Amino acid sequence: MAANLPEYSEWKQLVADNWDYWEYYKNLYNYSIQKPSNTFWTSKLYPKYYQERLLKKQYSENMQLLGKIHEAELEDYVKQTGDENMRFIYNYHINGARNVYFDWTATLGCLGLGFISFAIGKNSSWSIVTPALGMLFYGAIKNKAGRSGIGSMVDFTNWVAEQRKAKLWLAESPQKFAKLPSLPELQKQIVNLVKDFK
C-alpha cells in the first residue's frame, strides 16, 4: 500500500504545508481568466492574454499537487534535458522577480559602462545615468525572459509529478518493475526485430 511508504508521507506533508498558498494563486488565476471575458471593454483584449493565464493556472495546479520541488529534482531535470536556462526560470517562478535585477556580471558591466562614460564624457552625470539605464534594461530583459518561461515551468512540474508517481509505484511493488529491461536494451530489441522482419 502506497500510503505506508515514506516517500508518500513526505509528498503528502509537502502538499499539506503548501496547499493554501497554491490554492490562493489558483483562485487568483481562475478569476483573472473569467473576469476579462465578462466585461465589455476587456472582452476585446481577452484572447491576447488568455494562453499565458491558462499556463499560470496550470502551473499553480501542478504546484498545489506537488507542494514543493526539491533542488535534486531540478538538477535531475536539467541533467536529463540539458536545459541550463531552467534554473533561472525555476528561480524566477518560485522566488518572483526579486533575483532578476541583481546579477554580478551585469552589475560589473554597468559599472564599467559608468567608468567609460566618465572617462570620455564631458559631464559627470553620465557616469550615474549610464549604469542606472543599463541595470534597468538588463532587469527588463531578464524579467521578460523569466515570464516567457512559464510553458517550460509547466512542463517541468508535469515531469516532477510523473517522476514522483513512478518512484512511488516502484517502491510499492519493486518485483513488478524489476523484470523490465532498461531503455537501451529495449532499443536493441526493437532494432533486432526490425532487422529480422526485413
Instruction: Provide the whole-model pTM.
Output: 0.73
- Across the chain, what does the average pLDDT equal? 82
Please name which of 107, 180, 100, 179 lies closest in space to residue 144, comparing C-alpha atoms: 100
Where residue 107 falls among pLDDT bands split at 50, 70, 90? confident
Answer for the pair 164, 66: CB distance below 8 angstroms, yes or no.
yes
Where residue 88 falls among pLDDT bands split at 50, 70, 90? confident
Please tell me the least confidently modeled range out of 53-67, 85-99, 174-188. 174-188
What are the boundaries of each domain within the chain? 2-97+151-167, 100-148
Where residue 168 falls among pLDDT bands split at 50, 70, 90? confident
More confident residue, 68 or 180: 68
Please name which of 143, 167, 145, 150 lies closest in space to residue 63, comparing C-alpha atoms: 150
pLDDT at 160: 93
Please tell me the least confidently modeled range out of 28-32, 88-92, 175-179. 175-179
Where residue 178 falls among pLDDT bands split at 50, 70, 90? low
